[in-house]
Amino acid sequence: MTLEQLQIFVKVVQAGSFTRAAELLHTQKSHVSRVVMQLEAELGVKLLERTTRTLSVTEMGREVADRALGILAAVEETSQLTHQAQSKPQGQLRLTCGVEFGMLAVSGWVDEYLATYPDVTAEVEHTSRVVDLVQEGFDLAIRIGPVQESRLVARRLGELQYGLFACPKYLEKQGTPADPEQLRQHQLVMFSGGALRRGWELIPSDQPDQAATRVTGPARLRVNNSFAVRDALLRSLGIGQLPLLIAADAVLKGTLVPLLPQWQFAPVAVHAVYPSHRYLSPKVRAFIDLALLRFPEATQEAQKIAAMCTTNSAAHSGERTARSKRKRPIQ
């Protein structure tokens, strides 16, 4: 078994075809096919199932690919380790991130990254699916929410805060809810992707240890994109949950209004994630460092909205306390 065999086999698994793997490796398809057959013969197992139209990886093939990735990463780390401190970012950075956060923040980071490091190129996939970094050969992902895969290392960048919003026109017609229970009397626009598809969990701002109040619908509209939720709210379709990052511009313009300031959602962490079997190369480290530096700026407008909600929440809390004192019987 040779490193070339492992490299070619892994590339075939990642590319999904002999033809594409040969293109990526700048070699002939016949050479790729021959090397994989030699590897199968030496191991005595079937790694790939081939038909005239499709190529699929066997269960044993997946195991071998995972181990080969670790071996190749270890070899690369050994050859690069002594030069890492002196080396500069270079080569291609393959990065994946969510569509909304990618458009609002990550794209700007990529532009600055490329301007700062002229020897680096970038391939960025904006997608709502959870990409398998190891199998698909990505260097890095920017992910919103918990990271549970043991094969990955997660570096926390910060967190996103969420709130409920509606446009003034809708509230003039339908009224403003005073508590989560009243939300059930309103038209709701709900996000249908990820963990948020389970509904909204609201916690009293002045009692964060209290059990959350869950609102699951019924929803007038469900969509799997936060920009689509925002646009539906701007069209007066109802009340919806948004990241403050996405709602900020509309709130500052007055076209969306924060609701239930005395209630809050749990913030959601944002991580830079990379495969644990790989050493942190200069190109990946440089991007993570940039993301850590720029994340607070990306959420700056959102912090203004959070401050507004906190102020309104304190005012509501004061009103409730005053009402409570007025209602107390004289002893």
User: How far separated are the first and last CA of the chain, in Å rounded?
Assistant: 89
Nearest to 149 by CA among 276, 285, 14: 276
Flag whether pLDDT at 318 surpasses 50: no
pLDDT in tens, 254-298: 999 999 988 989 899 999 999 876 668 889 999 999 999 999 988
Whole-angstrom distance, CA of residue 93 vs CA of residue 95:
6
Of residues 192 and 28, more confidently modeled: 28
CATH numbers and ranges of domains, the chain? 3-83 (1.10.10.10), 91-159+269-299 (3.40.190.10), 162-266 (3.40.190.290)
pLDDT in tens, 19-39: 999 999 999 999 999 999 999
**pLDDT bracket for residue 86 (50, 70, 90):** low
Percent of the chain past pLDDT 70, that is, above it, reads: 87
Flag whether pLDDT at 312 surpasses 60: no
The alpha-carbon radius of gyration of the chain (Å, integer) is 26
Sorted by sequence, the CB contacts under 8 Å of residue 83 that are 6+ apart come out as none
Mean pLDDT of the chain: 85
Whole-angstrom distance, CA of residue 317 vs CA of residue 314:
5
Flag whether pLDDT at 317 surpasses 90: no
Whole-angstrom distance, CA of residue 15 vs CA of residue 11:
6
Flag whether pLDDT at 82 surpasses 70: no
**pLDDT bracket for residue 325 (50, 70, 90):** very low
Q: Give the three-class secondary structure for 204.
A: strand
pLDDT of 255 reads 95
Whole-angstrom distance, CA of residue 139 vs CA of residue 196:
27
Residue 56 phi, psi (nearest 5): -130, 155
Q: What share of residues in the chain are helix, strand, coil (percent, to 5)?
A: 50, 20, 30
Residue 328's alpha-carbon distances to 74, 188, 301, 321, in angstroms, are 71, 37, 41, 11
**Orientation angle between helical segments 3-15 and 29-43, nearest 10 degrees:** 110
pLDDT of 74 reads 82
Is there a cis peptide before residue 218, judged by omega within 30 degrees of 0?
A: yes
Instruction: Specify the amino acid at residue 3.
Output: L
pLDDT in tens, 110-137: 999 999 999 999 999 999 888 889 888 8
Nearest to 301 by CA among 255, 259, 252, 266: 252
DSSP 268: E
Nearest to 244 by CA among 191, 195, 305: 305
Sorted by sequence, the CB contacts under 8 Å of residue 204 that are 6+ apart come out as 210, 262, 263, 264
**pLDDT bracket for residue 303 (50, 70, 90):** confident
Read off the pLDDT of each residue in 85-109 and give the average, rounded to a whole number: 89
pLDDT of 146 reads 85
DSSP H/E element including 291: helix 282-298
**Orientation angle between helical segments 300-327 and 244-253, nearest 10 degrees:** 80
